[in-house]
Structure 1
Amino acid sequence: MSGQLIVVGTGPGNPAQTTPEALSAIERSNVFFGYGPYLDRLQLRPDQRRVASDNREELARAKDALMTAASGEQVCVVSGGDPGVFAMAAAICEAIEDGPPAWRELHLEVVPGVTAMLAVAARAGAPLGHDFCAISLSDNLKPWPLIEQRLRAVAGAGLVIALYNPISRARPWQLGTAFAILREVLPWSTPVIFGRAAGRPDEAITVVTLAEADPNRADMATCVIIGSPDTRIIERPGQAPLVYSPRSAGERL
């Protein structure tokens, strides 16, 4: 059998949120490439081999996986969440575009997964019920002024914003700066959801207003969702509030 490469998303961390399609792809693969903690979520057989690497080595991982697949192996590249959202599918495509012709001849399959913003939104209600976007606050692969420009543009356009990679030890200031930018554009009463480890045992979902949003609530396991001016909070006695964006939106010039 000739080699092939499958890129899977295992979801946000709860095994129940890994799709049957992803489980089937894992079952029929022989060699697994991925960030160590993501590979740890898999229940691999003794005949299945894992190759773990650091989370900042995506392109090198992609090249290693493609070389292994080209040698005839059934390779699986593992991402958390969805592999096409700030994850390994794009790195694989980049490597194929710049790599040898043999990599373009490989059978490539991308298997979707539940990404963090969907898991957090489901826990909070329906904050993505109308138009929305996703922005990574990491400036490793794009300049920070571009991130600022995009934040102002999408907030001004009335989009709900899901922030990935909101904060880290190397980038402790960026989420606070992002909130300051959004306060220049959005009502301070806009709902903000801090969704940490959605679906996992250490899950924490917190709803505050933009005025109250404290960057110290977030870490790299957190997806932050900032509502639009139309996003609403429904208070419920004895239960967590529901956050939702109505299906219709007012005219915005």
Structure 2
Amino acid sequence: MLSVIGIGPGSEAMMTQEAIAALQEADIVVGYKTYTHLVKKWTADKEVIKTGMCKEIERCQIAIDLAEQGKNVAMVCSGDAGIYGMAGLILELVSKQRRNVQVRVVSGITASIASAALLGAPLMHDFCHISLSDLLTPWTVIEKRIIAAAQADFVICFYNPRSRGREGHLAKAFELMTPWKAETTPVGVVKAAGRKKQEKWVTTFSQMDFSQVDMTSLVIVGNQSTYLSDGLMITPRGYVI
């Protein structure tokens, strides 16, 4: 059995019971070193195989090989395993290589959900996720998605918004959205959601400070109906009050 487990944003309180049970049942835990550290409470008596950044295929291959040998393997992912996690890559490899491995995907709380709860209720109407990382997706494609989402007035959750190698991507995204976003559109930022160094703040589209955002951040840009009340973002669902 190979369980691909979403461990949530990072705190025990945001892990599902199913995720904890799957970790406890596993013989071997595989994952990016930061994520394996977050679940060490449940892995002290287990073999833990860690890899660094940009080793996704390598660690998925390791997990598949071990599972095919009859081991009960847990592949841990931050947030939800199926949202920018390892579930898709695991299933692709198993399918294309015709491996004899049973895969179970264990869902978890993704960053947008955790961040939205801290910011108020910004995701009460239609929204979308867009990653600003162009490591696997051409930037020209990302630009088209940003423009389309802004034109359609989605609330937009930006993953991987800014890093040392992509310092200008978030500013460019805001530039692309400008024709469809009012200056007063609420914007919420959460850094390290669910972890010890968690931070959050709300601002407006025109007052956005990109320098405060990093790779641990999640940025939520409201739609035309989103407003701020007592420091919280609210996107009305449409109920008549």
Common fold, TM-score beyond 0.5?
Answer: yes
Asked whether the equivalents of residues 94 and 101 of structure 2 are also in contact (C-alpha less than 8 Å), the reply is: no
Aligned with 1:246 (options 233, 236, 239): 236
**Greater mean alpha carbon deviation, residues 135-144 or residues 35-44:** 35-44
1:134-149 matches, within 5 Å, as 134-149=129-144
Aligned equivalents of 2:66, 2:104: Cα separation in 1: 15
Report the counterpart of residue 95 of structure 1 in structure 2. Answer: 93
Structure 2, unpaired ranges of 5+: none
Structure 2 SS opposite 1:109 = strand
Aligned with 2:101 (options 99, 106, 115): 106
What's the CA shift string for 1:37-74, capped at 9, x where partnerless? 10001114554111111131112211111011001110
Matched letter for residue 16 of structure 1 = A
**Greater mean alpha carbon deviation, residues 222-231 or residues 44-53:** 44-53
TM-score (norm 1): 0.91
Report the counterpart of residue 18 of structure 1 in structure 2. Answer: 15
Asked whether the equivalents of residues 192 and 216 of structure 2 are also in contact (C-alpha less than 8 Å), the reply is: yes
What's the CA shift string for 1:199-219, capped at 9, x where partnerless? 222111110001011211111
Q: 1:47 to 1:155 in 2, by over 3 A?
A: same
Q: 1:160 to 1:109 in 2, by over 3 A?
A: same
Aligned equivalents of 2:8, 2:107: Cα separation in 1: 9
Matched letter for residue 56 of structure 1 = C
Aligned equivalents of 1:83, 1:139: Cα separation in 2: 20
Q: Does 1:203 align with 2:198?
A: yes
Asked whether the equivalents of residues 202 and 232 of structure 2 are also in contact (C-alpha less than 8 Å), the reply is: no
Structure 1 SS opposite 2:206 = coil
Structure 1 SS opposite 2:65 = helix
Aligned equivalents of 2:181, 2:126: Cα separation in 1: 16
Q: 1:244 to 1:72 in 2, by over 3 A?
A: same
What's the CA shift string for 1:163-205, capped at 9, x where partnerless? 0011111111111111111123211111111111122221111
Structure 2 SS opposite 1:133 = strand
TM-score (norm 2): 0.95
Measured after TM superposition, the shift of residue 14 of structure 1 is 1.2
Q: Does 1:79 align with 2:74?
A: no
Aligned equivalents of 2:216, 2:46: Cα separation in 1: 28
Structure 2 SS opposite 1:208 = strand
Structure 2 SS opposite 1:52 = strand
Asked whether the equivalents of residues 9 and 194 of structure 2 are also in contact (C-alpha less than 8 Å), the reply is: yes
Aligned with 1:66 (options 60, 64, 67): 64
Aligned with 1:32 (options 5, 29, 32): 29
Report the counterpart of residue 223 of structure 1 in structure 2. Answer: 218
Q: 1:150 to 1:45 in 2, by over 3 A?
A: closer
Matched letter for residue 150 of structure 1 = R
Asked whether the equivalents of residues 59 and 91 of structure 1 are also in contact (C-alpha less than 8 Å), the reply is: yes
**Greater mean alpha carbon deviation, residues 51-60 or residues 156-165:** 51-60
Report the counterpart of residue 171 of structure 2 in structure 1. Answer: 176
Structure 2 SS opposite 1:224 = strand
Asked whether the equivalents of residues 179 and 213 of structure 1 are also in contact (C-alpha less than 8 Å), the reply is: no
**Greater mean alpha carbon deviation, residues 182-191 or residues 110-119:** 182-191
Q: Structure 1 runs of 4+ off > 6 angstroms?
A: none
Asked whether the equivalents of residues 153 and 180 of structure 2 are also in contact (C-alpha less than 8 Å), the reply is: no
Q: 1:46 to 1:123 in 2, by over 3 A?
A: closer
What's the CA shift string for 1:206-238, capped at 9, x where partnerless? 10001011211111110000111111111x3xx
Matched letter for residue 168 of structure 1 = S
For this pair of structures, how many residues does the alignment match?
A: 238
Structure 1, unpaired ranges of 5+: none
